[in-house]
Chain A
Amino acid sequence: MIFDFFTKLTGSEISASIISALLPLFLFVLPFALIAVLLERKVSAHIQDRLGPMRVGYHGILQTLADILKLIQKEDIIADSNDKPLFNIAPVLVFAGSYAVFAAIPFTSSYIGSNINLGLFYIIGISGIVVIGILMAGWASNNKYTLLGAMRSAAQLISYEIPTLMIVVTILMITGTLNLNELTEMQSGFFWNWMIFGGQATGIAKILLIPFMIVGFVVIYISTLAEVNRTPFDISEAESELVSGYHTEYSGMKFAIFFLAEYANMFAVSAIVVVLFFGGYLSPIGYLGNTLGLPWLIPVEQLLWFTFKGVAFVLVQMWLRWTLPRLRVDQLMAICWKYLIPIAFVNLLIVGLITLI
């Protein structure tokens, strides 16, 4: 898609892939992180009866920029006992893992970084790199707190991938494709064609599917919440226990990269949930571009819808974070292995039976 376009434009596949790789970073991930960090601070502040940042710009809208300026100026501290190569690579890996996900996410019907047929599979696989980065960071810091944080994080991410995958397989059984663009197009029409309402199935099958789709959505939302280490599953950062987990020893821009990765990840998992269950970039009520006869308007509207749906889930993540306490390590594992995986498995079986109808 966009890759072919740039190949034609520049005449070289290498420059085309570089451009199409950087495009979502500068056009979407960085601006989103800037806004999301501010949003998080404002949302938390208003939940807690505070005002939040108010000094930099009108109601503090430039606060994140000021923070970034501060972080750029900060000394990059590397302790003598750190394992330097690993310590330096870790933030890059974490960021690469969460950023590479954006390559396969369809922002609009006409923009997708790489329209590969195994899109969903690729996303699940590539986000596994994050675990390696976190383990590296925890180990290389040579600090007991970071090590504990990293071990917790690795255990958590690996466990919660299983219910996520089971729900993905459930969707796969209904749609029969891993291509995210096709998957989205299969939900086109009005909002009752979204996967959460049973997709394109008709008649009795649709009615039967709806409750199981809702269960599937809840399971995948909880497990993606765990995969991005947000409260109530933020045991790997657990401020009150492990200071700040695997990135305790990082300062300056390396810390900022971890931070950026966290927010990029928050949107990435929300985007996956949106694509799987809420019709991706599709509008629930039709397009203004169609009414006005302006075809170029449709992708713009789709991008807005996609961002809107994604940000809505990001807001729910923030809301949960500032309301709930944190689980303990063993309770977290118990939720995954004793509840989510059996539920997801039964869900998978039943949906499989329904699709036979």
Chain B
Amino acid sequence: MALKTEEMTLNLGPQHPSTHGVLRLELKLDGEFIVDVIPHIGYLHRCFEKHAEAMTYPQIIPYTDRMDYLASMYNEFGYVVTVEKLLGLEVPERVEYIRVIMGELQRIASHLVALGTYGADIGAITPFLFCFRDREKILSLFEMTSGARLLYNYIWIGGVARDLPPDFLRLTKEFIVYFRPKIKELNDLLTFNKIFIERTANIGILPKDVAVNYGITGPMLRASGMKWDLRKDDTYSVYNKFDFDIPVGEGRMGTVGDCWDRYFVRILEMEQSLKIIEQAINQIPDGDVTSAIPKRVKPPVGQVYVRVENPRGELGYFIVSDGTLNPKRIKVRAPSFVNLAVISKLCNGHMIADVIAILGSIDIVLGEVDR
């Protein structure tokens, strides 16, 4: 008589060290092998979109901070660009440069968290603390500019809250000089570590066509070999004035689109962001940063969709205006939410440890998934 066997259901989360927040994954296991993964979301749902309908346009900015709390600057950036398009507002050149500098610094900070926690997911704790040490420098730059370390409310409709502090450009230059060798250090410690490569190469392979079909964007899409970056392909702000490359996954350690590629694309993107910041610091013009801020934000009747390249992918805002002070409807296309959808496809046939590796390489922020 054959022994009766059954699959084991394991709840991973919502409270678990490496689900990056309150995600719950329902794993169907055959021993340690994954049969199925079902993500359950909604533990951090705060009704952002409904809430926004009851507020005026400038009041919504602090709430956008709280969606992707690791990339608050970029959420504000995207929202503000959308409302300005609805208003038909031109902003001073200096404001655009400040926004780009802030946005790219935020991209580095966000990628540092992604890379550091990814190392911790694989079991290396030290890279995590190294990344946080470097991110701290960016956060203090943000703090001296906006007064806050995580939720800034700095980029406003038509301008920014206040001009850059006098030392900011010098300190940012110093940060760039400081940070370049640190990328190499991280590469030596983690990226090209044999065990790390064994754990991430050929794991969770996402082919290009599947990625496109699932609507995946950001570093995850680029790691699959698709050269698609909204900063170049659907440019906004002053990104067309800078010279930078779009790194794509090449499958250096395994197959194109595996976890290692997703990790390495983020490292390369940090270098490109440094390049953009350097150019922006050199080109930034003088000017008044608050002159274009409107007293009352009352857009005409209409609707608009604007997308920006958030550190995690395409962040889109769809705003319907009925000509009053409050938006009629706001819908956010959150990159983490869309990217997370593919997880059950990536995990099939892998082991529990690989689920953690794959989840880490998707780099979700639950505040944005649930909104």
Contacts of A234 in B (CB 8 A): 123
Chain A residue at minimum C-beta to C-beta distance from B120: A240
Q: Say whether A229 faces chain B, with CB atoms less than 8 Å apart.
A: no
Interface positions of A from 203 to 251, Cβ below 8 Å from B? 231-232, 234-235, 238-243
Q: Find out whether the CB atom of A327 lies under 8 angstroms from the CB atom of B125.
A: no
Q: Which of B18, B189, B352 contacts A148 (CB 8 A)?
A: B352
Comparing A79-87, A165-173, A328-336, the segment that makes contact with chain B is A328-336
Contacts of B285 in A (CB 8 A): none
A322 to B119 CA separation, bound complex (whole angstroms): 12
Q: Which of A49, A148, A240, A327 contacts B121 (CB 8 A)?
A: A240
Q: Find out whether the CB atom of A325 lies under 8 angstroms from the CB atom of B129.
A: no
Min C-beta distance of B145 to chain A, whole Å: 25
Q: Which of A48, A231, A232, A331 contacts B129 (CB 8 A)?
A: A48
Q: Find out whether the CB atom of A329 lies under 8 angstroms from the CB atom of B119.
A: no
Q: Find out whether the CB atom of B123 lies under 8 angstroms from the CB atom of A331.
A: no
Instruction: Kindly supply a per-residue 1/0 record for chain B positions 4-18, scoring 1 wherever the CB is within 8 Å of any chain A CB and 0 otherwise.
Output: 000010100000111
Min C-beta distance of A58 to chain B, whole Å: 24
Q: Find out whether the CB atom of B10 lies under 8 angstroms from the CB atom of A325.
A: no
Q: Find out whether the CB atom of B352 lies under 8 angstroms from the CB atom of A241.
A: yes
Instruction: Kindly supply a per-residue 1/0 record for chain A positions 37-63, scoring 1 wherever the CB is within 8 Å of any chain B CB and 0 otherwise.
Output: 000000010011110000000000000
Q: Find out whether the CB atom of B351 lies under 8 angstroms from the CB atom of A328.
A: yes
Contacts of B352 in A (CB 8 A): 148, 241-242
Min C-beta distance of B163 to chain A, whole Å: 33
Comparing B166-174, B195-203, B229-237, B240-248, the segment that makes contact with chain A is B195-203
Q: Find out whether the CB atom of B353 lies under 8 angstroms from the CB atom of A329.
A: yes
A33 to B220 CA separation, bound complex (whole angstroms): 45
A69 to B130 CA separation, bound complex (whole angstroms): 32
Min C-beta distance of A324 to chain B, whole Å: 6
Q: Find out whether the CB atom of B195 lies under 8 angstroms from the CB atom of A322.
A: no
Q: Find out whether the CB atom of A327 lies under 8 angstroms from the CB atom of B198.
A: yes
Q: Find out whether the CB atom of A48 lies under 8 angstroms from the CB atom of B126.
A: yes
Chain B residue at minimum C-beta to C-beta distance from A326: B123
Chain A residue at minimum C-beta to C-beta distance from B350: A328
Known: A232-B123, A322-B125, A325-B124. A240 touches B195 (CB 8 A): no
Q: Find out whether the CB atom of A240 lies under 8 angstroms from the CB atom of B351.
A: no
Q: Find out whether the CB atom of B356 lies under 8 angstroms from the CB atom of A240.
A: yes
Q: Find out whether the CB atom of B122 lies under 8 angstroms from the CB atom of A326.
A: yes
A326 to B351 CA separation, bound complex (whole angstroms): 14
Contacts of A324 in B (CB 8 A): 123-124, 193, 195
Instruction: Kindly supply a per-residue 1/0 record for chain B positions 314-344, scoring 1 wherever the CB is within 8 Å of any chain A CB and 0 otherwise.
Output: 0000000000000000000000000000000
Known: A240-B17, A241-B18. A232 touches B195 (CB 8 A): yes
Q: Find out whether the CB atom of B17 lies under 8 angstroms from the CB atom of A243.
A: yes
Chain B residue at minimum C-beta to C-beta distance from A45: B129
Q: Say whether A338 faces chain B, with CB atoms less than 8 Å apart.
A: no
Q: Say whether A8 faces chain B, with CB atoms less than 8 Å apart.
A: no
Q: Which of A44, A50, A323 contacts B189 (CB 8 A)?
A: A323
Q: Say whether A74 faces chain B, with CB atoms less than 8 Å apart.
A: no
Q: Say whether B32 faces chain A, with CB atoms less than 8 Å apart.
A: yes
Min C-beta distance of B344 to chain A, whole Å: 18
List A residues at the B interface (Cβ < 8 Å).
44, 47-50, 144-145, 148, 152, 231-232, 234-235, 238-243, 322-331
List B residues at the A interface (Cβ < 8 Å).
8, 10, 16-18, 32, 119-126, 129-130, 133, 189-190, 193, 195-196, 198-199, 351-354, 356
